[in-house]
Structure 1
Amino acid sequence: MPKAKKSEAQEEGLPKWAEDEIKAAQFGKPEVMTRTGYILEIYDKDLRLDIQVYEPMPDGRVIVEGISLPKSVKTNDLMKGFVYEFKISVYTAPLSDKVVELLKTKFGLEMKAIYNFEIKELTLMDVESDMPVPSSSSEEEGDD
């Protein structure tokens, strides 16, 4: 009789106790952070985005995949590649010292917490208004 297949975590060597702790992680109250960046991908059906931010998130990443959008946002109004200001709720679930040490020694991961991100608000920024306006003397010179 063939042996039952091991779970992915067991094949990769993650002990069941660590897997259970990670699955049962308790997220605290969110901290709201403001970041600027742009939309990489829009997932209409799931109300999710992939975004890239200019200022790193608390865990160091600058690309956030599958971030949740509020139901009030119409995805048809969003534009890829344009600069937005994102207000992001950051939920943190700390990991035990035992799991942190396991991830560091066995997998080479520096990870002290699990993060979940949700967009609370997003605003299209008027980046063009930051561009310098040509001086009137240079415009007059071009009219000759």
Structure 2
Amino acid sequence: MSAAISFGTASAVAGRQERGKQAYAARKLIQKTVSDYVPMAFDKERQGVNFGMNDGPTVNVVDMAVISRVIEASEPLPWLRRKAIRLRCRKIFGRSMTEAAELHPITDPSKAFGQLVFVGYQANKKGKPLYDEKALIHHRETDKEIARLRRQLLRLRRGR
């Protein structure tokens, strides 16, 4: 009897350790992805794609790639942590971009231009443009807005 109990306990502990290692690796990958992105987020000369609007708002390919990588990396995390990361991405990048990145993940920004144009076209057809007016990434004019974006990126980098 005690052998069966110790076997069950050892299996549970080993499983918990494996999940912990996977979650740690996921948090490290999210941290690296967001840390590499932070300097680009505050670049004043960011180039983007606008979908048929000459002087309209633009969507950046790198933003979509970062969302895709962060969401993909968050898969081994517990469901509540994944939900928090998705909500943080929505706050930073906007709901439409986050949903588009979940449905059509972009892994390599250099090869993603055509995919981004396709996703933007599909979103415009549905009446949900990728550009979200409430997204923090589009408001970087005042020091207060920059500080708010920096805080949100720091929280995302921590995996929260």
TM range, smaller chain: under 0.3
Bigger proportion of residues as helix: 2
TM-score, length of structure 1 as denominator length: 0.23
Bigger proportion of residues as strand: 1
TM-score, length of structure 2 as denominator length: 0.21
